[in-house]
Every structure is written in C-alpha cells, then in structure tokens.
Structure 1
Amino acid sequence: MTRMKKYVTAAAVAAALVGVPTMAHAIAPAGTPASTAGVQATTVAKASSSSSAQVVVPGKRIAAAPKVQLWLTKEGKHWSTPTMAGQFRSVTDGNLDMSQPGVSLQAEPVEGRYFLSGIYHGKGDAATVKVETEQGTVTGTIVRLAGTPGWGGWYATSKLPDSPKSKDGKRDFVRSVTVYDAAGRTIAKMASPSSG
C-alpha cells in the first residue's frame, strides 16, 4: 500500500510539472454557491454582448437606415438622407457645451419612418442608447471614434407619429434620449421639457 501511495504521488507531481491538466473546475467568487457559477458567467457574456456600439475610423460611412449614411470625423457627426445630403453637427464650433454631459437630437422622416440621431458627450465608454418616444422605447446604436474623445454619435429609427401636432403646434414625439455604458450607468441624458 505504501508503494502504491508513492506511485500516485509521483504521478501527480510529474503531471503538475509537465502541465498536464488533471481536473477542470470553475472558481466562483467568495460566498457564491457552486451551482450558480456557470449562471454568472452566462450573465456576464450576455451583458457584454448587449452593447450596440460601433467603433469606427474617421470618415467611415455606416448604413444607419435604408438610404441613410452616417459618419464621424474629429469635427463632429455627418449624415446624408435622400432629401438632405451632407448634413453636419459640430463638436468644435461651441454650439455644444462639452464641459458637462449632454445629448443632441435631430429627427427627420425617411422612407416612412423617423430617422433619429445626435451627438452625446460625457465620461465613460458608451455602449447603447435608449430613445423614449410617444409610441414606446427604441434601442439605438452608438458610433464612436477609437480612443477616448469624450463624445460620439448615435442613431435609431422609429415609426412615424400617429397623431397630428398638438394644439400649440409643437410636438414632443421624443420624450428622452439616454446613453448608457456597458454596466447600465447613465453617461448622458436629454429629456423633453414636457416629460418632467
């Protein structure tokens, strides 16, 4: 029996030195039941895949919607639609207060839908954007340049409003635009004055 223990011990030491795996196991954080370790790994994978961010080089055109192109340069956001080519919003001309978080919004009908887009600015790596409209919430796409410029663009599409403009001639079709990081923290938010 003593001879058998020596052989088993020698085999285990040899396997460790050679790097042969003898057993695979998951290590869960302290206090986590072993049965949930796999569930946590799945949850993390799903959370990281929920990002709708596209990191692009300056000038790279993206098909943001049917017949719509959007691209970023170091100066700002550019986009073209069938009725308005070469539109531009600057991040360098002083029209946006880049000293604090914010989101801009441009909305126009394209091919029977609303094309919504804008610029966000704030600290953190934006992962997704949620746009609350009078018809519900839509998830948009973040577009940003490589590196950390502190701003980026976003876009989404929505159904056109069902009702005509309100009595005062104004429409607050978009209630809010919120940009989130991958952990779900708010980077920047724009709310309509009537949304409270």
Structure 2
Amino acid sequence: MLILLQEDGVITRRQGSGSTVNQLPPAPGLERLLPVEELLGPGAVRCRRLGTDLEEPTDFSGYHLRLAPSARACFWETVVDVDGAAACFAHEWAADRTDLEAVDPALATVFDAAPEGPATTMLAAFLAVGPASMTARSTLGATMLGKERGAATSCPPETPALLVTQTVAVSGRPVLAAKYLFPAGAPLLHLAPRR
C-alpha cells in the first residue's frame, strides 16, 4: 500500500526516517455542501414533507449535534421526488434553537413560520439563509429501506439503498445532522470534485 502511495506522489519514503505526506488528498465530492435537491441533477425535483417535530435527541442527533439530553432537536422527514418517483428519503435534525441563534440567528428563522412556496430539505433552507462558512462531513454506507421508509417511497422494504450521513457545522459547531437514503433505481448523484 505504501508503495502505491509513493508511486502516486502522495508520500515520500526515506529509509531510516519513515514516510511523510506530501499533500493532503482531495476532499470527497460530498464535502461540497449542496442540498439533495441539487445532487439529484436534472429532472423535475419536488420535496414532500412527511412530518416535522420538536423532539428529544436520538442517539444519532444527540451524538452528531452534541446535544444535551434536555435539549430539543427540530426534526424534518422529507421525501424528494424526481420526475414523480421517490429518489431520496431525508431525516434531518437541527441543533437546539438556542445553539442555532448563538451560531447565526438566521438559521433559527427557518423554523419560525410555515414555509412559503414549495417544501425543501432542511439543508436547502439553511443554505438559503445561513452563512457561507458552513462545512460538512459525510459518510457513505449501504442499507435497506425498511417498512416505514419503503411505504413512504412506494418501494418494497427490502429495497437496497445508499445511505449518506452528513453533519453540517458553522465555525466548528454542528448545526444539522442528516440521514439521506437513496433507494436502488434513484437517479445518479451528480458530484463535482472539490477544487
């Protein structure tokens, strides 16, 4: 493995001195912060909000948003359709309102009133009002839709799905944690490499 990294110019190896990294590898394309609606590329994209809630932290939201057990997370459940077919099932949690206001008061306004116009994912709403300094960390995995998500996307429960988990932060403080499931057969994600 080290030989391959050396051949690619990523590391320099010196006998007796060890290996040094020449450059940081490029960030994966998902670290370029774009809402799911844009990642799904061309086609008629429409979001269907299945539910909103103010809830106690789950294991996932509490960990990724660093929430105290007494905090409340704003939760959105959304299906993103492309050309009338379910392409993504989104579970998104925002940090406690007090934390959001401390980071950027505009972020908290996303939850103040019923949205005008068509529904969006929470990430799209944050990007529309929040600071340009938002960053993300993402992981990819594989799963199956399961009964509830299968019913919401009109797919069998055993449908394989790509799972993208993402944590969005402002100045190192997490403001949004999300799970995005893309069922088999969904449009390809359009990822541009980060420059």
- For the pair shown, the structure with the greater C-alpha radius of gyration is 1
TM-score (norm 1): 0.34
Higher helix share: 2
TM-score (norm 2): 0.34
